[in-house]
Structure 1
């Protein structure tokens, strides 16, 4: 009755004859509740045939047996019972059986839980994208997962039994690796970013988690978990780079430049000197050829500045068109040589690439006595730069305008001679209208430069052989405004800037860009419109043959009062007819 295991007896009919007190702890029944009842009542219904079979086939034949059965607890739950059954023999006759039973439910549950943990660990170990190595306490490799194989390109057969620090540690990092190993082997959890090496010698940025394996309070090994952080490190490097560099030119940016000036001052040193550079005419290039061309001008300028000062200074882009150089030397010869190199490079560049004109204004300030503050040096260099810029800014803009005109002439080869013919036509009409000679000179200038804004129109639109789409027409119509901005930048063209803007207005108000009509349109623009249309019609184009003079004059008269000033059309037609008769 005082045994630690459940003990009960039954007769040969399977009726319980005795139960000890332990039964209450295992199945929830008091002994008096079980005595006299059939033993099969305390197992699930599906197990009862097996119990009867065991009694009949073994116990009643005098054989002992051992097995596990599910037992029904009084509360309805199932308990796992390990049974050792033997027959009871009296006077040589089997009168029943006796059972020694042990409740193994908790052991079963613990075993099941352990099995699940092993399954979970195996799936986690094998399926983890991170590289995992299982090591003993001496850093010897016991096992690795697929993540480790993928990361470091080793198979388990290649490295099992080797020291981890002999396999993946780059030269020069052994001491750091040993420090990590010692710390983890002393029971510490370590997380650290480091560089490791794969089978082929490639260096990999990894995050390492070193984790001690503890069993029954004793450390039996180490998990080494390696996460590839190469992409993150590259992104961090890019962010760091772009935080200190100008994205367009690759030079340092204003933030770095100002930081470098402050560092010089805070560290007790003195800045030797500053050069401030400004790209002349950038706005004009942006407004006419577009920001892509402006960007190319800035990239070109940055390259020249970097090359000229790379040995004696640090170049940075500090604004839209402004650059600055922190000088490392006070040697006047070196500084003068760098400035001369920059100016010569700009000159050579403009000769070799006439399609784009680069001009850079420079300002220099040198800290001769070493006592001046960086901010004062920068202000002096900036003032010197603006002084130079004022001295040749207009000539620089004129050079850009001339470059744009040459570019237009080079692109507009299909209408070669158009400007010269147009000048002759407007002069004939202007003199018939008795305009003053200075006005005729401006008209000739208009005839030559009226389409200068086309330099800002893409070739795919300017030279498209077929009809333009609505969007392409809008893009083409921008050439009047672009031309106006160019003319406003050149003193020689300022008198005709307004006429360039309005030379595509129509008499009926359906022109562009302002929708002016009749006498709101300047006389010079009305004269040019007639002469331009006449010349276009009487000369070959890629998409059609030239009209005859009479056909062209008929077309002008047909559009008089619509596209053209009707009075001027009459005057022009009479003139052309007289010229035709005389010729």
Structure 2
């Protein structure tokens, strides 16, 4: 073989090798890759394209360039424009949606090139599946304009939308401000999980009460806002009434739903939106001053009823402690108001147990350190429940300290002697007496003789010694 023939043979081998590499790249590449002829017929494609679309080779051979985009006008036009650019300029790119064989939609990044082979023109297409990135993009966009907890719009969207809607053609426009009553009370008493449930329920009720085009947003915490375009005061009041009526039949656990609303209507372009917002908020806070305390008192009653329904022994115990506290107040010549306050605080002294699992206080075996910690927390929980309720701040303090001991070894603060409020010292004695006089799951009731011995033995240690003497002589008559 001549030297020239050897060179030609080597060149053929190199060309064949290059073609083999190109074909390997074409067929096994990570992206979808295919070629159409001038008539729009699919003439070549790689494995990825077949895998993603779900069509067999036989089916693909019969499909034309735009079969993927029939019924999707937006994607059809985008692909046509891209191919036109590829024919005119040699290259075109666009985003589109492609329908697979099973009917599912794939978001794609579409690139088109023109190829000239043996005097013929072809369209080479490369597609990158961007479904996941599009989904993440939508999620990011959603999160940037929505409140993560409730799914309503957030403050950012509300502010942008208010600016957009603040035009003469949307007048009259009413702004409604809403504030959930008792959220801090619920968070402090039962934890933020219960508070979050309350907020989600409120968001759902407001959404049901509003119209489809109304803009509802959570501004943060317990505050909500509603933008009502082309809505006068009369219609706004009806929307608020509808929301309140919907809330009447809803509860979160045993807690009623209560939201205070205030609104103001912008009737002319000369009125400043900032002043409309301030007035709406002031009206809401004025309503909250009246509605908030009522809601807290209702919640306290609901808590007590729920506690007693779950534990009838607790109901009997609390009523007896209340009577004993009242008698002690009378024996100590307390005023009528102080006696009544003692009775009420005796009734409520274990209100914090509502937040403790019902089986824990009745456990027969020894408490673990964590269980004992939970049991002792009922004093602080009860305090947090009552501390924000008008007229109950003193009772909250008495409940907080009703398990303190005269010798300073009690809880939660380790107060000693006269540092402990006298009402708390009275509750401590009445609570212990009634507990000892009742059958418990872990022991039988003590006799009166043994109860008195226990009270006397612990006078100066657990109990105020002078109050123990008064209790035994004047209340028990011994």
Flag whether TM exceeds 0.5 (same fold).
yes
1:297 is aligned to 198
Alignment correspondent of 1:340: 241
Name 2:270's counterpart in structure 1: 371
SS in 2 for 1:196: strand
Q: 1:400 aligns with which of 290, 294, 299?
A: 299
- Choose from 511, 530, 536 the match for 2:410: 511
* Aligned pairs, number: 477
What are the ranges of 5 or more consecutive residues in structure 2 without an aligned counterpart? none
CA distance in 2, matches of 1:116, 1:570: 109
Listed one character per residue, the Cα deviations across residues 11-68 of structure 1 (whole Å, up to 9, x for unaligned) are xxxxxxxxxxxxxxxxxxxxxxxxxxxxxxxxxxxxxxxxxxxxxxxxxxxxxxxxxx
Q: Is residue 124 of structure 2 the alignment partner of residue 223 of structure 1?
A: yes
| 2:185 counterpart residue number | 284
- What is the TM-score normalised by the length of structure 2? 0.88
Q: Do the aligned partners of 2:263 and 2:279 also contact (CA within 8 Å) in 1?
A: yes
1:245 aligned residue (130, 140, 146)? 146
Displaced runs of 4 or more, over 6 A: none
**CA shift in 2, pair 1:335/1:439, >3 Å:** closer
What's the CA shift string for 1:443-489, capped at 9, x where partnerless? 21221111122233344655656443323333333222221222222
3-state secondary structure, aligned to 1:222 = strand
Residue 207 of structure 1 pairs with residue 101 of structure 2:
no
Which segment is superposed worse, 275-284 or 546-555?
A: 546-555
Contact 1:125–1:145 (Cα < 8 Å) also in 2? yes
Q: Cα 1:443–1:155, aligned 2, differ >3 Å: closer, same or farther?
A: same
Instruction: Give, in angstroms, the shift of residue 574 of structure 1.
Output: 5.6
1:422 equivalent in alignment to 2:321: yes
Stretches of structure 1 that go unaligned for 5 or more consecutive residues are 1-82, 84-99
The residue that corresponds to 1:140 in the other structure is 41
Instruction: Quote the Cα distance in structure 1 between the aligned partners of 2:320 and 2:186.
Output: 29
Provide the residue aligned with 1:362 in structure 2. 261
Pick from 187, 210, 215 the counterpart of residue 309 of structure 1: 210
Deviation at 1:294, TM superposition (A): 1.6
Bigger RCO (CA 8 Å, 6+ sep): 2
1:188 aligned residue? 90
Q: Does 1:319 align with 2:220?
A: yes
Give the C-alpha shift of residue 288 in structure 1.
Answer: 1.0
Q: How does 1:10-409 map to 2 (within 5 A)?
A: 83=1, 100-102=2-4, 104=6, 108=10, 110-111=11-12, 113-167=14-68, 169-172=70-73, 173-186=75-88, 188-213=90-115, 220-265=121-166, 270=171, 272-311=173-212, 313-349=214-250, 355-409=254-308
SS of 2:261's equivalent in the other structure is: strand
Deviates more, 1:320-329 or 1:486-495: 486-495
Q: 1:122 to 1:476 in 2, by over 3 A?
A: farther
3-state secondary structure, aligned to 2:255? coil
C-alpha displacement at 1:212, in angstroms? 3.5
Aligned-residue offset at 1:255:
1.0
RMSD (CA atoms) = 3.0
In the superposition, relative to structure 1, how do residues 268 and 102 fare at CA in structure 2: closer, same or farther (>3 Å)? same
- 2:262–2:281 contact (8 Å) kept in structure 1: yes
* Matches of 1:531 and 1:326, distance apart in 2: 55
**Counterpart residue number, 2:462:** 563
Map Cα deviations across residues 267-302 of structure 1 (whole Å, 9 max, x no partner): 986561211111122111111122122222222222
* Contact 1:354 1:403 (8 Å CA) reproduced: no
Cα deviation digits, residues 135-191 of structure 1 (max 9, x gap):
334332122222112211101121215322124544424343333233334462222
Alignment of 1:476-515 (within 5 A): 476-515=375-414
Distance 1:435 1:135, change over 3 A: same
Q: Do 2:405 and 2:414's aligned partners in 1 also have CA atoms closer than 8 Å?
A: yes
Deviation at 1:196, TM superposition (A): 1.1
Deviation at 1:366, TM superposition (A): 1.2
Measured in 2, the distance between the counterparts of 1:553 and 1:219 equals: 112
Q: Deviations over 1:522-549 (max 9, x none)?
A: 2222222222123223323334443333
SS of the equivalent of 1:142 reads strand
Label 1:392 to 1:269 Cα distance change in 2 as closer, same or farther (>3 A): closer
Task: Give the TM-score taking structure 1 as reference length.
Answer: 0.73
Cα distance in 2 between the residues matched to 1:511 and 1:113:
92
Question: CA 1:565–1:267 in structure 2 vs 1: closer, same or farther (change >3 Å)?
Answer: same
Q: Distance in 2 between matches of 1:356 and 1:202?
A: 44
Give the secondary structure class of the aligned counterpart of 2:149. coil
**1:332 Cα shift?**
4.4
Contact 1:205–1:233 at 8 Å: present in 2 too? Answer: yes
**1:386 offset after TM fit, Å?**
1.7
- d(CA) in 1 for partners of 2:305 and 2:137? 47
Superposed displacement of residue 266, structure 1: 7.1
Say which SS state the counterpart of residue 175 (structure 2) adopts.
strand
Any conservation in 2 of the 1:207–1:229 contact (CA below 8 Å)? Answer: yes
Structure-2 residue corresponding to 1:29: none
Superposed CA deviations along residues 184-213 of structure 1, whole A, max 9, x for unmatched, are 344622222101111233222111122334
SS in 2 for 1:417: helix
Larger radius of gyration: 1
Whether contact under 8 Å (2:79, 2:94) holds in the other structure is no
CA contact (8 A) 1:271 1:374 kept: no
Q: C-alpha deviations, 1:480-539, integer Å up to 9, x for none?
A: 222122222223422322111111112332222211122222222222222212322332
Distance in structure 2 (CA, Å) of the matches to 1:155 and 1:547: 86
Cα drift, residue 417 of structure 1? 0.5
